[in-house]
Amino acid sequence: MTEECRVDVRFYEPPPELRRYFTTFYFTDITVSDGARAQDHLHPEWANLRFCSGGLPEAHSPNGTSVAGSSFAATGPSSRAVRFSVGTARIWGVGLLPLGWARYVRVPAHHLADVVADGHGHPAFAGFASLAGAVFADEPDESGELARITEWFLDNRGEPVPGEALILAIHKALVDPDVATVAELVERVDVSQRTLERMCRRAFGFSPKLLLRRQRFMRSLSQYLLDPSLKWIGAMDCAYHDQAQFVREFKQFMGMGPGAYGAMEHPIIGAVMRRRVSLSWAAVQALDPPDDPRA
């Protein structure tokens, strides 16, 4: 598939007024041979909105939700890999940070955790209908498409998010590899564990314990994918007790063992990661800090 799939990825920083809500706005131009479809896996990540033109994607989550044939595919925050395929297509993605989810979706994140959906038909994403219908014009126009996306989010910020400071504090602590336990997270953000649990489910989609495990896993996975010469043992985060624990978590988060995953091609996700790193950003969206993906 590598010879048959060309992937061009470009990332655009939101304007300063929007930076705390999004990872990036990103454009992916995918070309495959006639009739073919590229296949890959989305890693566990924050929520995303994807507006598509051309060979529309098909995606399947382990929880049984799926989307196919839609020009607007939406995903909630995820803790498990999502299988997808796509033909020759132009795709705009909007990476929603937890604060962005709270600001623009306004549905408790745990209600849509690990969900993939047709954004045109799912009530949680009905508010984006005007954006979905406006992104693409009759002819490809990358700068015009970006301008329409940016202007829509500037015009639809709505009311401030209750608990915004706490959401940002939790997010900042989650991406700090020195915060490894729920007790350390509680201490860092200076709230009760009950308050932490409630906010994590509402804005982040998962319990604090699962979020910390996901972060540890994604640090390891990104290390390996960027430098396979490390082997899995060399890419393992130092917070893992041993290789057996890492393998168990790999199977939980990715739905397969590390050997099976390492043997696969990753034509789209690999290109995305390499481009992010070339910009001195975190390799994967889940590791982006709040406010600025370059921090």
Residues 20 and 112 in one domain: yes
The answer to whether residue 291 scores a pLDDT higher than 90 is no
pLDDT of 87 above 60: yes
Rounded Cα distance between 15 and 8, Å, is 23
Give yes or no: residues 246 and 104 share one domain: no
In tens, the pLDDT along 156-198 reads 998 889 999 999 999 999 999 999 999 999 999 999 999 999 9
In a domain, 295, yes or no: no
* Dmax (CA) of the chain: 56
Looking at residues 82-87, what average pLDDT do you find?
97
Judgement on whether residues 181 and 145 belong to the same structural domain of the protein? no
Are residue 85 and residue 16 in the same domain, yes or no?
yes
Measured torsion, CA atoms of residues 60, 66, 68, 71, in degrees rounded to the nearest 10: -110
Which residues constitute the domain of residue 62? 2-155
In this structure, what CATH number is given to the domain that contains residue 111? 2.60.120.10
Where among 129, 155, 181 does a domain terminate?
155
CATH number at residue 241: 1.10.10.60
Do 142 and 202 fall within a single domain? no
Which residue among 155, 184, 210 closes a domain? 155
Percent of the chain with pLDDT over 70: 98
pLDDT confidence of residue 2:
43
Same domain, 121 and 225: no
Q: Which two tokens stand for residue 65?
A: 């939700």
- In this structure, is residue 160 part of a structural domain? no
Q: Could you list the beta-strand ranges (E) of the chain.
A: 5-12, 22-32, 38-42, 47-54, 58-60, 66-68, 72-75, 82-86, 89-96, 116-118
Same domain flag for 125 and 268 = no
When divided into structural domains, the chain yields a total of 2
Q: Is the pLDDT of residue 292 over 60?
A: no
**1: confidence class by pLDDT, cuts 50, 70, 90:** very low
pLDDT exceeds cutoff 70 at 202 = yes
Q: Which long-range contacts (CB under 8 A, 24 or more apart) does 234-241 make?
A: 237/177, 239/177, 239/180, 240/216
Domain match, 90 and 199 both: no
Boundary (domain end) residue, out of 155, 186, 201: 155
pLDDT(284) > 90: yes
Q: What is the pLDDT of residues 135-151, one digit of tens each?
A: 999 999 999 999 999 99
What is the chain's percent helix, strand, coil content, to nearest 5?
A: 45, 20, 35
Over residues 201-225, the mean pLDDT reads: 95
Same domain, 187 and 249: yes
User: Taking all residues of the chain, what is their mean pLDDT, rounded to a whole number?
Assistant: 94
pTM: 0.94
Statement to judge: residues 95 and 170 lie in one domain: no
Rg (CA), the chain: 18
Answer whether residue 96 is part of any domain.
yes
- Is 292 within a domain? no
Please indicate whether residue 235 or residue 132 has the higher confidence score (pLDDT). Answer: 132
